[in-house]
Structure 1
Amino acid sequence: MFINSSTSLRPHCVAIALILTAHNAFSAPVKERRVLEEVIVSAQKVEQSSQDVPISLTAVSGEFMKEVGAVNLQDLAPYMPNVRFSSDTDPALTQVNIRGFGSNPLNAAFESSVGFVQDEVFYNRPSYFSEAMFDIARIEVLRGPQGTLFGKNTVAGVFNVSSADPTDDFSGKLQWQENDADERYLEAAVAGGVGDHLSLRVSAMDRDKEGDLYNQFLQRRDDQHEQNAQRLKIFFDPSDSLHMELNAYQSETMANYWGLQIFKLDDDTRTFLENYDPNIEDNPYDFRSSYNVPGFIEKTSDSLSLLSEWQLGDVAGLQNSAFTLIVADSELYIDSLVDLDASPADLAKLAVTSDYNQQSLELRFTASSESLFGLGEGVNLVAGIYALHSEFEQHTQITAGDDLLAYLTTDDALQLISGNPNGGSGGLLGSLNLAGLGLISGLGATVIDDDSYLLDYFLDVEAYAAFAQFSWYITDKWVLTPGLRYSRETKTADASGASRCRTGNLGLPCLMGTALSAEEYQEEGIEREESDLSPKLSLQYYLNEDTNIFISYARGYKSGGFNASSFGGEDLNFEPEKAVTVEAGLKGSFLDNTLRFNLAVYQTQFENLQVLAFNGAFFDVKNAATATSDGLEMDVMWITPMPFLRLAGSVGLLDARYDSYPAAPAPINEGVDAQQDLGGRRISFAPKETASFTPTLEFPVFGLAMSTSVDILYQGDQYTDGDLDKNTFSPGYTTVSARVSLASLDSGWAITVGGSNLTDEEVLGQVLDTVFFPGTYNTRQKSMRKIFASLNYQW
């Protein structure tokens, strides 16, 4: 991927080769050859050039993150073909889609279809995507099923992240960045050796974001965000054959929550809500909200891992033999409170606490051989076992507000209760505005009094796997790489739902349970066992030392589970998700290694897609039959013959559609539990085109290195909700970012000024149905123009 080259061509050192030829403005030029630096990745569990890996991948360096002012993975997505984050503001509900496929995080039962691995540890909750993204050395995005080598549940792809390593010499860095929207980011690290066998690195991050979304009811910023995190990384080399790495981090996040705006109020809903906020409006582009519950989220996580590598040398005819053992333990705790209806009326609030912990072990063996049983010219082998045990506990409380009784006198309530979008009073209730009578509001507060529906969910997972993959160099031109993973998984769950209210003591139904059409249930010890065999096969042909073509086949698998948010206990189970991908591509370096061009085309077929269906109050879990994704990814990096200019670009083409989905949920304004046939329709979060183009100018200025870049980023049109409601359709858009950097010749310091979305494009990142108001929506607006300044210093 073109971003790879940022390792050697970052803003504060991209011009070094040129500057060395012109030490000052008056010295004569001495020509030196500029080339693209090789990028080393671990996509196949061994270190190798990214150009030798027979899959479509993007590798992003930590230096590139600093260059573009990125502080999280969401900021990098526009530079990655066919990669999409649903939100860049939500610290808990991270949804990632690769080639159109991902998992909706609104139901905690779903594990992500896109895996997340950091420092060799697989993390099995989507909330980890935002936990330890600081002091980063490299990010690898591997597209398509990666089940052979990476953890579990990597059916759509993997983010493989590596943090910066300790150094033997004393070194460090300091990064300070400030945005014009009152956002500050500070990152620091210190590394060095202690004696002959020990080295360590200590790093920390602090982020404070004031926020963009103003709540006119509570007079606060609903997306205010604070996070601080620390990491300790220790290398211990007691001998030439033994290497050990200890990696520990912790992170704390506190934020106002959640950052939603209301959209498309009909007349009856507007009349009702004006009783509580006379200035209520539904413009989704003005960064103004109005809801009454001061929501929040508190998130903490910590992780501890130990990697041990034993170099065995030559064993039983194998060379470079080594065992690697990774053991890890991690915990993630989330406490949140949100306004369920996202309006100024006190209808319902949602409190969710979850506690997750996982322990994992991976033991793998790597080696090489001169041939495969005397055939060919060499073999590289990776084989191992993997085990994961996790426990997840979640408690959900949906509490009725004082205005819920008044809400029951509206047409919105009658439509949901009857299931008929055309039902109600024909506008009579709206004109009478019974909710505006103080008597009903006062009576509601008296009658409701701590009326709640409670959901409790506990999930225990035990997963085991054995895997093997080898690359066989048949000749100096042909490489065959087969792989296989056998996995077995057991899930055991307890799930229950119950109403709680004072009126229940009088033999009357609880109001919240009635409004949700919820029933009491208790299921204990429900269990499912699954096993899977996922093969992989690729064949490469090297046209020359720098260019190869490949074709690959891979099968992916994501386990099934149990609904964590059922309101009745029916249909708790959902089935596993499966995918098969065929991919072909070209990876090459040309023009004396000044031009890098990569191209991949693919087709993926999915079975039993795991989806959520909105039921008017919450989300039901379903499997969505079959889908197909066809597409292309291309990237280019060119150091042009003009010594001051380099060019980078990428293109993603995507056609992801349902093949068969006859009982798909219809938009809620067509009726509760209404269905539609989505066969042949495009799936959500699947823009047909994505593209980026970045020209960079590099030149010396009075003994310093100056660089200026412009990013032109295009995202195609797409639906942002699974029911493909026309109101959730987001048109395609183009944003422009730019930056100017001035750096010292030795890369010791760099000052960068830049901005994103400089043309102020108004973009809705996601549009979702609003609880209680059929036909009304909640939106998340992407950030408008942001100007940033940063100072980077390293020694």
Structure 2
Amino acid sequence: MPNSKALHRPLSVKKTLALVALLFSGCYSQWLYAEPRVIEEVIVTANKKAESAQDVPLSISVVSADFINDAGMSDVGEITRYIPNVSFDASLALYTSITIRGFGTPPLGVGFEPSIGLVIDDVPYGRSTFAQDAVFDIDRLEVLRGPQGTLFGKNTLGGVLNFHTKNPTTEPEGFIKYSRSEDVEADRFEGAISGPLIGDRLLGRLAFRYNDADTLEYNSTRDEQQTQKDTAIRLKLQALLSDSLTVNFSGLYAESLTKGYTQSLFIASDRSLRVFREYDPRTEADAFDQNTSTDSPTYSDREVNAGSLSIIWRPETLLGINAPELTAIASWSEVLIPYALDVDYSPVPLVAFNQPPKGNPYTAKSIELRMNGGLDAPFDWGNGLDFVVGVFAQESTNDVFQDIDVSLNGLLAFARAGAIVQNIQLPIDPLLITPGLTLPDLIPGAIERERYISATQSTTQSFAVFSQFNWILTDRLTATAGIRYGEDESEGASYSRVAEGNSISGGSLNQRNFNDPNLRNKETNVSPKLAINYELLPDVNVYANAAKGFKAGGFDPAPLNDDHLTYKGEETLTYEAGMKSRLLGGALVLNMAVFSSDVDNLQIRTFSGVTLTTFNAPKSSSRGAEMDFFWLPPLDGLSLAGSLAYLEAKYDDFKEGPPLFTSTQDPTQDLSGKPLPYAPRWSGSLSPSFNFPILGSPDVLGSIRLNVSYTGERYQDSDIDINTLQEEITRIDAGLGVRSADDSWSVNLQARNLTKEQDSLLILDQPLIPGNYTKTPYPDQTTYQLDFKLGF
């Protein structure tokens, strides 16, 4: 394959600014608008009820369907580029993670409970991988930053992603959309049909997506192109049984099939490369050459089944409550994640993870009962009181199984390449004294491979009662108090089984036989919240809040030894103050917040160079500020959105943190004072767009869009190794579009990464070889996408 890096000449800053000026300067005088335009009010459900985002005393970002569709986005990671202090990683289905304000689910945490809550259409989901199932036929995404334990429960330590997909409509409608991408070649279909099924009493909506992609990554060892296929279908029904009683049903099926793995060598010694090239001459330590060199089958599949039923009753009167609303939601979800991985990231046939027989299933059943309403002001102080109270119960099961094959001949080759084998590292490759000679397979097939298995099975039962009250003290002042009491009880079993006989590779993998069938964990938690919201000026609110968040402890998923079978629960206390405003006659929405969070026992999942291990960092903290804005300037058709975030997230006390992987094999290192991984100091975005009539016709509109995102440098492994530091990037995406004024059709062209930035998701040590590293890169060339959409 040709070296594509020679073709990647990023746009200079001067040329980029000139392009922006050219796009927006020429038409200013022609479409100058005489009076301010007004931004529509944004409605959110952050407090389990519909209300204006400006009235909610916490930091919220809302991404609309228009922004997502106009930019041709179909991935949560693309969307979160434009949300301050938020990141999303879905390099593989089994390693999906979300981070808010520096806290999140570890990216290597298969089987882990998330640290960021995920809610889709008012239903909580217990794994981050479900987030991808919300990004089709989407209505909006609400990102709630800071702990949301009071109303959303455990696992919301950093915040909540609250997705809303489109509901059935009273009038028949639908759309079909086709997208074609080049360089990263993909064909994508999305569509929906909606309308009444039985008069105006039963409404339905059926939505689907299909994606078939050949990515740029090619495996030269296996002569194999990496591919991905993705299918999903969602059915929503709404039965209006009476003027006060509504029943909603939602069912989802999704499947993705991914062949290959973009994690490839990033740093490698000459010694290692010499050995690896004996197996594949095209092996390179270049994560951006669109070539991997791994010998074993590698895939990461995913199958989702989910359903929910909600009943909403809005009686005219109930126990003296104003506008009462009772909601009952029952849900069930299951995700299977079968996979096979070549985890030595080399062409040497060394270590392979075989497909688990059950697909590592996770299932959850939950029910929530809650009541919203209003009451007269206590003691006649103020203008009233609105509230939400409820109970929540869930049972979840988790099964993580690892089946590992190790080749002893491959282990000998890795020893020549500089690996630590049985705590010994050869100072040189013995075959260097005889150039051109390769080592044959010395160990016969009957005893050449050793097999290892490990597993963890668990069942967790959760129960909680919660309440929140908003006391409207005056027309301008509201005080909020909430509290949640929760219990989590888990039972489980873990075991590890090393190859029979005198294992040669078990010591190198730090694996030992053990069997613990009686794992137990029970925790209780109280998550309070206090907030105050004050209208300082008309359309300018200031607020302050304090809240606690909680994530339960658990059992290490499929550990290779019994050194760390359990990990502790984590807790956070966060203080936040901010301002929300609508300025310039409603033409500018500007929101700002500052925050301070302290976390006890932050859960860290790290790869030590030999095995994955779970740690608790005793003390961690996150301090920072964020702002976002949306502005309609006095130029008809022009809009400008942007965000800026500052974050200082660090380990405050972590004296026994995960060690750097070196030949000395230190057991721990002191990470106190070091930054948290996946937490850039600065990040921001700027998204101008311009809509204009084509040839003076009001029926056909053109659009020009620019999306600029900046992400500062950040570490991409929990051991804060300098070699895992991802440099800062400034990515520019652009788009051109033509559509009808009534949105019945549209054509959009997207160009992504015009600056040809080299960004990545994850950087890890290469197993067993100190000083070698692997990386999961984003495509570093400009890619193009053409979208056609037809509405009916």
1:444 & 1:550 partners in 2: Cα distance? 71
What's the secondary structure of 1:582's corresponding residue? Answer: strand
Q: 1:406 to 1:434 in 2, by over 3 A?
A: farther
Say which SS state the counterpart of residue 593 (structure 2) adopts.
strand
Tell me how far 1:313 sits from its aligned partner.
2.5
**More divergent stretch after superposition (477-486 vs 118-127):** 118-127
Q: Give the superposition deviation at 1:426.
A: 2.4
User: What corresponds to 1:498 in structure 2?
Assistant: 497
**Residue type matched to 2:157 in 1?**
V
Corresponding letter in the other structure for 1:417: Q
CA 454–649 in structure 1, closer or farther in 2 if over 3 Å, else same: same
Q: Work out the CA distance in 2 between the residues paired with 1:142 and 1:671.
A: 44
- For 2:512 and 2:437, the matched residues in 1 are separated by 31
Equivalent pair of 2:225/2:260 in contact (CA under 8 Å): no
Matches within 5 A, 1:113-512: 113-180=115-182, 181-194=184-197, 195-222=199-226, 224-351=227-354, 352=356, 353-401=359-407, 403-407=409-413, 409-410=415-416, 412-413=418-419, 415-418=420-423, 424-429=425-430, 431-432=432-433, 437-439=438-440, 441-449=441-449, 451-500=450-499, 504=500, 508-512=501-505
**Does the C-alpha gap of structure 1 residues 433 and 755 become closer, same or farther in structure 2, counting only changes over 3 Å?**
farther
1:444–1:431 CA distance, 2 compared to 1 (3 A): farther
**1:771 partnered with 2:749:** no
Tell me how far apart the structure 2 counterparts of residues 416 and 376 of structure 1 sit (CA, whole Å): 73
Does structure 1 retain, via aligned residues, the 8 Å contact 2:530–2:545? yes
- 2:563 matched residue in structure 1: 570
Decide which of 742, 745, 768 is 1:746's aligned counterpart. Answer: 742
From 607, 626, 633, the equivalent of 1:633 is 626
Of 692, 706, 713, the residue aligned with 2:709 is: 713
How much does 1:80 deviate? Answer: 0.4
Residue in 1 that maps onto 2:13: none
Whichever residue aligns with residue 210 of structure 2, its letter is D
Q: 1:100: Cα distance to partner?
A: 0.7
Give the drift of 1:344. Answer: 0.3
Answering whether residue 512 of structure 2 is matched by residue 516 of structure 1, we say: no
Aligned counterparts of 1:433 and 1:622: Cα–Cα separation in 2 = 45
Task: Give the residue type in structure 1 aligned to 2:95.
Answer: L
**Contact 2:619–2:652 at 8 Å: present in 1 too?**
yes
Q: Unaligned regions of 5+ residues in structure 1, if any?
A: 1-18
TM-score (norm 2): 0.92
Cα 1:600–1:516, aligned 2, differ >3 Å: closer, same or farther? same
**SS across alignment from 1:175:** strand
Q: 1:406 to 1:40 in 2, by over 3 A?
A: same
Amino acid at match of 2:748: T
Judge conservation of contact 1:540–1:548 (CA < 8 Å) in 2. Answer: yes
TM-score (norm 1): 0.92
Alignment correspondent of 1:101: 103
**What is the alpha-carbon distance in structure 1 between the residues aligned to residue 673 and residue 431 of structure 2?**
40
User: 1:29-108 to 2 correspondence within 5 Å?
Assistant: 34-85=37-88, 87-108=89-110
Matched to 2:185, the amino acid is D
Match of 1:594 among 587, 590, 608: 587
Distance 1:690 1:424, change over 3 A: same
- Residues 338 and 360 in structure 2, CA contact (< 8 A), matched pair in contact too: yes
Structure 2 distance, partners of 1:644, 1:614, is 50
The CA distance in 1 between the partners of 2:517 and 2:722, in whole Å, is 41
Classify 1:630/1:456 alpha carbon distance in 2 versus 1 (closer, same or farther; 3 Å): same
In 2, Cα distance between equivalents of 1:602 and 1:430? 58
After superposition, the CA RMSD in angstroms is: 2.1
* Deviation, structure 1 residue 216: 1.1
Partner of residue 755, structure 2: 759
Secondary structure of the residue that 1:96 maps to in structure 2?
A: strand
Pick from 534, 538, 562 the counterpart of residue 541 of structure 1: 534
For structure 2, the residue ranges without an aligned partner over 5 or more in a row are 1-26
| SS of residue in 1 equivalent to 2:361 | strand
- How far residue 432 of structure 1 moved from its aligned partner, in angstroms, is 4.6
**Residue aligning to 2:17:** none
* Structure 1 residue 370, shift from structure 2 partner: 3.2
Alpha-carbon spacing, 1:444–1:141, altered in 2? closer, same or farther (3 Å):
farther
Decide whether aligned partners of structure 1 residues 214 and 29 sit closer, same or farther in structure 2, where only a CA change above 3 A counts. closer
- What do the CA deviations read for 1:323-353 (whole angstroms, capped 9, x no partner)? 1000011111111101010110000101243
- Give aligned-pair identity as a percent: 30
Query: What is the letter of the counterpart of residue 301 of structure 2?
Result: E
Tell me, yes or no, if the aligned pair for 1:453 and 1:498 is still in contact at 8 Å.
Answer: yes
Give me the whole-angstrom Cα distance separating, in 2, the residues matched to 1:44 and 1:432.
71
Is the 8 Å Cα contact of residues 207 and 228 (structure 1) preserved in structure 2?
Answer: yes
1:649 aligns with 2:654: no
Distance verdict in 2 for CA 1:275–1:411, change over 3 Å: closer
Kept after mapping to 2: 8 A contact 1:472/1:481: yes
Shift of 1:69: 1.2
**Change in 2 beyond 3 A, CA 1:670/1:53:** farther
Q: Deviations over 1:437-463 (max 9, x none)?
A: 454x152534224x2110121110000
Q: Deviations over 1:41-71 (max 9, x none)?
A: 1111000011111111111112211111110
> Which whole-Å CA distance do the structure 1 matches of 2:597 and 2:378 have between them?
31
The residue type equivalent to 2:396 in the other structure is S
Matched positions, count? 756
State whether residues 551 and 583 of structure 1, in contact with CA within 8 Å, keep that contact through their aligned partners in structure 2.
yes
Instruction: Sort the Cα spacing of 1:480 and 1:348 in 2 relative to 1 into closer, same or farther, 3 A.
Output: same
CA 1:434–1:610 in 2, change beyond 3 Å: closer, same or farther?
farther
